[in-house]
């Protein structure tokens, strides 16, 4: 099979898998299967693992999915693509980054599912399905993973791309740990963000210059610890489920 055809098949399979998971979670929310028992069982299991050290770790991880951090990172990704004069990928990336929060809020308003911890947020953000942290992390950190994989060479690209993908998954898991979302909310958010990412990855498929990617990696390495340090005291008081 030619490389282009193989890449198309991978993107199609990944997109189909994300769509399947999202629809499965949505059907569970609608009562087609016993999502409530699944959510309670997983949430109870997670509660047994809570301890001060793990809580601090999860609060740091969940902070890296905050809109206050992800929005500037998303802007930097678009700027990095624009600096390469990759206008089509830059425009597509900006459109995806803007579309996903609107889509998440639309679904939240339509489903109006209560969070495990009531009154965490106001407006559409007060609803639980799907997780915005998980969705936006999957898309933005996923885009970073794609850029890293396409522009770097050797073991570094595998390590960095895997680290960004793992971070998105951990952010989704942290939303359940801190009591902000039910498990199917986190899975739905991951799959919804992943669905948009598969389309965006197709646009970002061509190799890119490594210099802007190095800039993005440096920005993340410098700002992520600083933002987590800044956000941790607030997170301790904000997530009441841990107290």
DSSP state of 124: G
Predicted local confidence at residue 241, as pLDDT: 52
pTM greater than 0.85 (yes/no): yes
* Model confidence pLDDT, tens digit, residues 169-209: 999 999 999 989 999 999 999 999 999 999 888 877 665 66
90 burial level (CB within 10 Å; 0-12, 13-18, 19+): buried
DSSP state of 129: S
Specify the 3-state DSSP secondary structure of 112.
coil
Mean pLDDT score, 45-65: 92
Q: Domain segments of the chain: what residues?
A: 3-242
Burial 27-55 (b: 16+ CB within 10 A, else e): ebbeeeeebeebbeebbeebeeeeeeeeb
Report whether 77 contacts 92 (CB < 8 A).
no
Q: Is the pLDDT of residue 5 over 70?
A: no
Predicted local confidence at residue 80, as pLDDT: 87
């Amino acid at each position: 099979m030619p490389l282009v055809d193989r890449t198309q098949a991978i993107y199609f399979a990944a997109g189909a898998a994300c769509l399947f998971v999202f629809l499965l979670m949505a059907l569970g929310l609608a009562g087609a299967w016993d999502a409530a028992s699944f959510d309670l069982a997983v949430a109870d299991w997670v509660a047994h693992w809570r301890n001060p050290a793990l809580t601090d770790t999860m609060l740091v991880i969940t902070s890296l999915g905050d809109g206050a951090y992800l929005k500037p990172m998303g802007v930097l990704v678009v700027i990095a693509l624009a600096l390469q004069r990759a206008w089509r990928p830059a425009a597509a990336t900006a459109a995806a980054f803007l579309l996903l929060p609107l889509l998440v809020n639309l679904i939240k308003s339509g489903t109006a599912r209560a969070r495990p911890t009531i009154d965490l947020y106001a407006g559409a953000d007060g609803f639980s399905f799907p997780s915005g942290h998980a969705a936006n992390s999957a898309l933005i950190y996923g885009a970073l993973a794609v850029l890293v994989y396409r522009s770097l060479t050797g073991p570094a690209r595998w390590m960095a791309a895997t680290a960004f993908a793992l971070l998105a998954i951990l952010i989704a898991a942290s939303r359940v740990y801190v009591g902000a979302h039910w498990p199917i909310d986190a899975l739905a958010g991951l799959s919804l963000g992943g669905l948009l990412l598969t389309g965006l990855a197709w646009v970002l498929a061509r190799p890119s210059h490594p210099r802007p990617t190095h800039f993005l990696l440096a920005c993340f390495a410098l700002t992520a610890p600083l933002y987590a340090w800044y956000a941790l005291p607030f997170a301790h008081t904000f997530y009441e489920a841990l107290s």
